[in-house]
Amino acid sequence: MKIDYTEYSPNQRIAIIAASELVGYKSCFVGIGIPSDAACLAKLSVEPELNLIYESGAIGALPLSKSYSTGSPSIAHGADMITDSLSVFSDLQAGRIDVGLLSAAQIDKFGNLNSTVIGDYDEPKIRMVGSGGAHDIACLIPNLIVLMPHDPRRFVDTVDFATSPGSGRDIKKIRDQLNLPEGPSILITDKAKFIMSDEGWLLHSILDSFTFAQATEGLPWSLKPPISGPIETDPAIISALAQINY
Partner 1 sequence: MIDKTSTVQDAIKNNVNAGDNIFIGGFGHLIPFYLSHELIRQKILDLTICRSGADILFDQLIASEIVKKVIFGYVGNPTVGLSHSFSRAYKKKSIEIEEWTNQSIIMRLHAARMGVSFIPSKILQIGDKPSNISHLKQVTCPYTDHKFSAIPALKPDIALIHAQCADKYGNIQMWGIDGDTVEGALASDKIIVSVEKIISNSKIKEAPEKTVIPSHRVSNIIELPWGAYPSYVSGFYSRDDDHYIEYDTTSRDEDKLSSYLKNWVHDARNIQEYKKLIGSTKIKELEEGLCGVKNED
- Quick check: 76 binds partner 1 (CB under 8 A)? yes
**Active-site residue 49, yes or no?**
no
What distances in angstroms separate CA 138 from CA 18, 62, 111, 228, one per listed residue?
17, 23, 10, 26
Applying the rule CB under 8 A, the residues between 160 and 199 that interact with partner 1 are 161-165, 171, 174-175, 177-180
Q: How far is the CB of 44 from partner 1 (least distance, A)?
A: 18
Angle 210-19-224 (CA atoms, 0-180°, nearest 5)? 40
- Quick check: 71 binds partner 1 (CB under 8 A)? yes
Burial of 61 (C-beta count, 10 Å sphere; 0-12/13-18/19+) = buried
Pick the stretch among 7-15, 17-25, 82-90, 191-199 that binds partner 1 (CB under 8 A).
Answer: 82-90
Applying the rule CB under 8 A, the residues between 108 and 127 that interact with partner 1 are 112, 116, 121-124, 126-127
Pick the stretch among 16-24, 133-141, 197-205, 208-216 that binds partner 1 (CB under 8 A).
Answer: 133-141
Q: Which is nearer to partner 1, 103 or 205 (CB)?
A: 103
Q: How does DSSP classify residue 227? A: S
Q: Which is nearer to partner 1, 163 or 205 (CB)?
A: 163
How big is the chain, counted in residues? 246
90-96's contacts with Cβ under 8 Å and 24+ in sequence apart are 91/53, 92/29, 92/136, 92/137, 92/140, 92/141, 93/136, 93/140, 95/140, 95/142, 95/181, 96/27
Q: Which is nearer to partner 1, 7 or 170 (CB)?
A: 170
CA distance 97 to 51: 9
- Selection from 140, 131, 148, 132 nearest residue 194 by Cα: 148
- Quick check: 12 binds partner 1 (CB under 8 A)? no
- Selection from 60, 83, 81, 67 nearest residue 33 by Cα: 67
Determine the 3-state secondary structure of 38 from DSSP.
helix
- Quick check: 204 binds partner 1 (CB under 8 A)? no
Pick the stretch among 58-66, 96-104, 144-152, 212-220 that binds partner 1 (CB under 8 A).
Answer: 58-66
Q: How far is the CB of 50 from partner 1 (least distance, A)?
A: 21
Applying the rule CB under 8 A, the residues between 207 and 246 that interact with partner 1 are none
Size of the site for partner 1 (CB under 8 A): 59
Number of CB atoms found within 10 A of residue 23's CB: 13
Task: From the candidates 21, 55, 123, 217, give the one annotated as an active-site residue.
Answer: 55
**Site residues for partner 1 per CB under 8 A:** 32-33, 55-58, 65-77, 82-86, 89, 92-93, 112, 116, 121-124, 126-136, 138-140, 161-165, 171, 174-175, 177-180
Residues with catalytic roles: 55
